[in-house]
Amino acid sequence: LARSIQHTSVRQAHRKYEPDFHDKYGNLVLLGGAAVFTTVWGYVLTQLGMEWGLSPVGRITPREWRE
């Protein structure tokens, strides 16, 4: 079961490792997840027509109410 060092990495004396799932797909998952998140929530927050109940402070201009 002797594990010899790859001849190409003798100078480094470190192992070469087989890429794992995160090495192969990590970037894809990260960017994909971020893309799904931004599209969905961008839509929900702006286009869907939800009432978010935001504060009137700094947003609503008061208007005379007495008839």
Partner 1 sequence: MLASRAFSLIGRRSICTSLCLRAHGHAGVVKADDFTLPAYVDRRDVPLPEVAFVRDLSAQQKALKEKEKASWTALSVDEKVELYRIKFNETYAEMNRGTNEWKTVLGGVLFFLGLTGVILIWQKHFMYGPIPHTFSEEWLSAQTKRMLDMRVNPVEGISSQWDYEKNEWKK
Residues that bind partner 1 in the complex, under the rule CB under 8 A: 1-5, 10, 13-15, 20-23, 25-34, 36-37, 39-41, 43-44, 48-51, 55-58, 60-65
Output 8 or 49, the one with its CB closest to partner 1: 49
Output 8 or 61, the one with its CB closest to partner 1: 61
Q: Which of 30, 12, 11, 13 is nearest to 21 (CA)?
A: 30
Output 8 or 21, the one with its CB closest to partner 1: 21
